């Protein structure tokens, strides 16, 4: 996983989401998401792309699986976060908490796929997360629907976990022909 920039967190969360939502297909997916490979830290980009490609062939199940994987990744990652960093993010004025929370999201995205080239910007009360490279949206031909559900779900979970209920929407997606995946984050003002 190290050479491809793929984090164990991404692979483990996908494996668990498939286990929960597609238990009858788990053996098929474990050809690429092998527990031994995960344990040993060996997962190349090609096997991950194969898993994502096959998941897209599952039709309506693709989104719930990757969204569940995003929730799991956020939960696991937050559980390992130093308590001081989490405490600082959940206290203080609203404007500071939302900036710190999106910083957590940026770090989480980098933990899942190091080559994501993620940037975060705040303007007019909205956060914007831009992924120049998104492993979920790396497709040969543009598709009709957005494939960024993993990150939408993960960001929503992180923001909620630090007490900032937020709406996360995909503005543009590389899978549908956009230059980058751009997610708009709008926290509810307390």
CATH number of the CATH domain containing 163: 3.90.1520.10
Q: Is 143 within a domain?
A: yes
Q: Is 1 within a domain?
A: no
pLDDT band for position 2 (50/70/90)? Answer: very low
Q: Is 27 within a domain?
A: yes
Tens digits of residue pLDDT in 80-128: 999 888 888 888 888 888 889 999 999 999 988 888 889 999 888 899 9
**pLDDT confidence of residue 42:** 61
Measured CA to CA, the distance from residue 34 to residue 64 in angstroms comes to 21
pTM of the model: 0.91
pLDDT band for position 1 (50/70/90)? Answer: very low
- In this prediction, residues 67-80 reach a mean pLDDT of 96
Q: Is 2 within a domain?
A: no
Is the pLDDT at 145 greater than 50, yes or no? Answer: yes
**pLDDT confidence of residue 52:** 92
Q: Is 122 within a domain?
A: yes
Q: Domain limits at 133?
A: 8-187
pLDDT band for position 3 (50/70/90)? Answer: very low
**pLDDT confidence of residue 189:** 82
**pLDDT confidence of residue 166:** 93
Measured CA to CA, the distance from residue 55 to residue 61 in angstroms comes to 8
Q: Is 67 within a domain?
A: yes
Number of domains forming the structure of the chain: 1
* pLDDT, averaged across the chain: 88
Measured CA to CA, the distance from residue 118 to residue 31 in angstroms comes to 30
C-alpha pair distances (Å), 33 with each of 13, 19, 45, 100, 141: 11, 11, 11, 33, 24
Tens digits of residue pLDDT in 21-47: 999 998 998 888 876 666 665 677 888
Q: In sequence order, what are the residues at sequence separation of 6 or more whose Cβ sits closer than 8 angstroms to the Cβ of residue 141?
A: none
The total number of residues written for the chain in this structure: 190
Q: Is 3 within a domain?
A: no
Measured CA to CA, the distance from residue 153 to residue 70 in angstroms comes to 5
């Amino acid at each position: 996983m190290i050479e491809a920039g793929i984090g164990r967190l991404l692979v483990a969360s996908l494996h668990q989401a498939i286990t929960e939502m597609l238990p009858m297909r788990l053996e098929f997916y474990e050809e690429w998401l092998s527990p031994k490979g995960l344990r040993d830290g060996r997962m190349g980009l090609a096997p991950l792309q194969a898993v994502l490609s096959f998941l897209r062939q599952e039709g309506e199940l693709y989104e719930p699986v990757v969204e569940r994987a995003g929730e799991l990744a956020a939960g696991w990652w937050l559980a390992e976060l130093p308590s001081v960093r989490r405490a600082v993010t959940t206290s203080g004025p609203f404007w500071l908490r939302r900036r710190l929370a999106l910083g957590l999201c940026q770090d989480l995205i980098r933990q899942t796929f190091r080559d994501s080239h993620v940037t975060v910007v705040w303007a007019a009360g909205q956060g914007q997360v831009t992924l120049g490279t998104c492993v979920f949206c790396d497709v040969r031909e543009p598709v009709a629907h957005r494939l960024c559900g993993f990150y939408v779900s993960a960001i929503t979970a992180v923001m909620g976990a630090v007490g900032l209920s937020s709406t996360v929407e995909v503005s543009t997606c590389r899978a549908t022909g956009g230059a980058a995946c751009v997610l708009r984050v709008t926290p509810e003002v307390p």
